[in-house]
Amino acid sequence: MGRSAFREPAEATPSSRVWLFRAGLALVAANLLTYAPVREHPFIAFDDPQYVAENSHVNTGLSADNVAWAFTSGEQGNWHPLTWISHMIDVDLFGLDAGAHHLTNVAIHTLNSLLLLLLLVVLTGARWRSLLVAALFAVHPMHVESVAWIAERKDLLSALFWMATLSAYAAYARAPGAARYAAVVGLFAAGLMSKPMVVTLPCVLLLLDVWPLGRIAPVLDVRAWRPLIVEKLPLFAMTAATSAVTFLVQQQSGAVKTLENLPPGRRLETALLGYQTYISRLVWPRDLAVLYPFPESIPFWQTAFAAAGLGLVTWLAWRARRGRPWLLVGWLWFVGVLVPVSGLVQVGSQPFADRFTYIPYIGLFVVIAWGGADLAARRPPLARAVWPVTVGVLVAFAAGARHQVAHWRDSITLWTRALDVTDRNYRAHSALGFALTEAGRTDEAAAQFNAALAIRPSYAEALSNLGMLRAQEGDLAAASAHLSAALAVDGDFVEALGNLGTVRARQGRLDEAIALFERARALAPDSGDVRNGFGYALALQGRLDEARAQAAEAIRLSPGFADAHSNMGLILGDLGDLDGAIAAFRQALALDANHARSRYGLGAVLDDAGRPGEAVVELAVAVRLDPALAEAHNRLGRVLLQLERVDEALPAFEAAVRARPAEPDFHYDLGAVLFGLERPADAIPHFENALRLDPGHAAARSALQRLGRIK
């Protein structure tokens, strides 16, 4: 069967256009009903910050510099410049409104559903079967991850160009020409620049040559295939180049497992397990999670069963190739498109992922739609059940997808769900701990970090997170131990280097802190967090001009990072630039109104500027936001004394001592207030504590001498 066998699609008639319009409206409605809740969802603390919220190249919007970065960056282990640019456009349009970014995902997914419908109708002329494929694509629960996760924009965008490339190829196959071939090449290039997984598309074009294009019969004859393969050599060259670039980028980022870490036999077992899992969840999509743990072992019987099943289905599809070519094409579409993420080349530490099915499942949806129609045609009694069964399945899938969307409403819910449906998921425990830390639920967070370490004692991320949590609680010794353990596992772990640098700075070991930050900066020069910590350490060492330069760089890299603006406020205050400090603290609070340390810093600077009335307001908010912020309580007490509100000042000084009982100045200030209230008996223990904690505390010694407690 040669090129002339291509069947021209039926000419569009008014009735066919009306049908397409109604079918399209139904798909739009199904998508909106399924995914409407994402409008209220925030950024998820898993890749979303790195892709959008905290990425300085993205969260500053579209610009020449940012576009240049997108085309040269291998950040996040991928080269996908169009994905980066799409996020930049969203920032220009919506700022950092997470709900609007989510709706962009929904819009692209809806467009993909419509393009898939139109593509299949044009290629096959089979309206209802095409609609079923598009509807399954739209509402299947396994696709929720790609749509409800902002960072997975790459799935949606690459699928958009995938559909467009297939449409352009259909036009080229109908009437070959240079311009039409150039359109295929250009759209394929756009797909590759959205997500490298589309490297398999040239192979899918060969499948379409068999069915439905009918450009070649399904035969094992190299001579018959040669012209079609040669025709696609530019596309295969693009695939090879992109695969090489992707492998190098992921290898440099540490995403690709080495042969020593995961031997070939284990990778094959993983691939077979993945195919088995994807097929079972096509029919019964339950217990879905954002991250599945890598199995510690895979039983031989399970591997053998999966291999036998794949082999049997492939053999049956080949046997049926002449009468039912859609079976072979749909099956090989599924099997082939999954190869890059099947585990044969192991990327990351997950054996499979829901998002990997976004394009591959189309092949199985085709098998279901055409297979169901074929079965109904051969068994007329079954035809009556087709409609109710089809509608029932679609409604059930849509309801399941809507239920799955609810698990993405925030980070805590997402990771709790992952732990509910998986076992020994140490990465999910650590991620949930981080989300709980962000929510201020520190005891629960520590339990999750410890649960992760009970499963994987050498998990550097959990060690680092637990270390920083202990630092927040003031236990710097425990923090240092955990962070040092994380670096013993991974000496180039930038987050642990920065966190340990912060701890060393707070311990007064400033030379060590600066050395750690310099090392972290060399590894991650574009990290605003590292620059901010470096500035903090330099400020403590008195190198204020250098500290200001690092804080400014942190703000440039992460303009939405409230901590960086707050740190700049502290540095400017120390430099005597009170107006600049006030502006920096106000900018931090504009970004995060609940940033307690910025409230404290603003209050302190306002006090230094002789504006105690304004200072007391900010300090009162600071201690309400963070009751453990001892210095804010103490400063509030001092400002209240200036305002002669002594009765209110006393509880503030008492709160400071409770929050930090080892601080001698806090004991002295409380003792002084009590003495002023003519309560010397209550004041004396605090003066004594101040002198015990700091034998050189001259003011406490003088007070005790006046009271006759010491000579």
In whole angstroms, give the CA distance from residue 608 to residue 403.
54
- pLDDT exceeds 50 at position 3: no
For 9-63, the DSSP string reads PPPP-HHHHHHHHHHHHHHHHHHHHHHGGGGG----TTTHIIIIIT-TTTTT-S-
At a CB cut-off of 8 Å and minimum separation 6, what does 418 contact? Answer: 289, 290, 291, 425, 428, 431, 432
Are the C-beta atoms of residues 40 and 126 closer than 8 Å to each other?
no
Q: What is the pLDDT of residue 258?
A: 42
In whole angstroms, give the CA distance from residue 68 to residue 93.
20
What band does 486 get if pLDDT is binned at 50, 70 and 90?
very high
Q: Report H helices in 211-360.
A: 222-231, 233-253, 264-283, 300-319, 325-337
Separation in Å, CA 397 to CA 98, 140, 476, 611? 26, 5, 50, 62
- Percent of the chain with pLDDT strictly greater than 70: 96
- pLDDT exceeds 60 at position 572: yes
- pLDDT exceeds 60 at position 254: no
What band does 259 get if pLDDT is binned at 50, 70 and 90?
very low
What band does 7 get if pLDDT is binned at 50, 70 and 90?
very low
- pLDDT exceeds 60 at position 10: no
Q: Two tokens at 256?
A: 């690709």
Summarize pLDDT for 396-426 with one digit per residue, the tens. Answer: 999 999 999 999 999 999 999 999 999 999 9
Burial of 14 (0-12, 13-18, 19+ CB in 10 A): exposed
CA dihedral 89, 91, 95, 99 (to 10 degrees): 90
- Average pLDDT of the chain is 92
Q: What is the pLDDT of residue 378?
A: 87
- pLDDT exceeds 50 at position 561: yes
Q: What is the pLDDT of residue 386?
A: 85
What band does 345 get if pLDDT is binned at 50, 70 and 90?
low
- pLDDT exceeds 90 at position 344: no
Q: What is the pLDDT of residue 155?
A: 96
- pLDDT exceeds 80 at position 496: yes
The mean pLDDT value for 214-226 works out to 93
> Strand, helix or coil at 490?
coil
- Percent of the chain with pLDDT strictly greater than 90: 81
- pLDDT exceeds 50 at position 8: no
Are the C-beta atoms of residues 589 and 581 closer than 8 Å to each other?
no
Q: Bridge partners of 347?
A: 256
Q: What is the pLDDT of residue 265?
A: 79
Q: Which residue has the higher pLDDT, 145 or 558?
A: 145
Q: What is the pLDDT of residue 428?
A: 97
Q: Which of these, 261, 291, 270, lies nearest to 427 by C-alpha position?
A: 291
Separation in Å, CA 605 to CA 81, 141, 402, 552? 44, 53, 50, 19
Q: What is the pLDDT of residue 385?
A: 83
Summarize pLDDT for 173-205 with one digit per residue, the tens. Answer: 999 999 999 999 999 999 999 999 999 999 999
Buried-exposed string 295-321: b where 16+ CB fall within 10 A, e elsewhere: eeebeeeebeebbeebeebeeebeebb
Q: What is the pLDDT of residue 123?
A: 95
Alpha carbons within 13 A on the beta-carbon side of 207? 22
Q: What is the pLDDT of residue 262?
A: 65
- Which of 266-270, 334-338, 674-678 shows the lowest mean pLDDT across its residues? 266-270
The mean pLDDT value for 328-344 works out to 93
In whole angstroms, give the CA distance from residue 478 to residue 460.
15
The mean pLDDT value for 315-320 works out to 96
- pLDDT exceeds 90 at position 482: yes
Domain boundaries, the chain: 3-406, 661-711
Summarize pLDDT for 29-79 with one digit per residue, the tens. Answer: 999 999 999 999 999 999 999 899 888 889 889 999 999 999 998 888 889
Q: What is the pLDDT of residue 298?
A: 83
Q: Is the dihedral of CA 327, 113, 102, 243 positive or negative?
A: positive
Burial of 523 (0-12, 13-18, 19+ CB in 10 A): middle
* Percent helix, percent strand, percent coil in the chain, to nearest 5: 75, 0, 25
Q: Which of these, 220, 338, 350, 346, lies nearest to 278 by C-alpha position?
A: 338
- pLDDT exceeds 60 at position 531: yes
- Which of 8-12, 70-74, 475-479, 488-492 shows the lowest mean pLDDT across its residues? 8-12
Q: What is the pLDDT of residue 1?
A: 34
- pLDDT exceeds 70 at position 527: yes
- pLDDT exceeds 70 at position 4: no
- pLDDT exceeds 50 at position 584: yes
φ, ψ (nearest 5 deg) of residue 347: -115, 125
Q: What is the pTM of this model?
A: 0.87
Are the C-beta atoms of residues 632 and 599 closer than 8 Å to each other?
yes
Reported as type and span, the H/E element at residue 705 is helix 698-706
The mean pLDDT value for 452-466 works out to 96
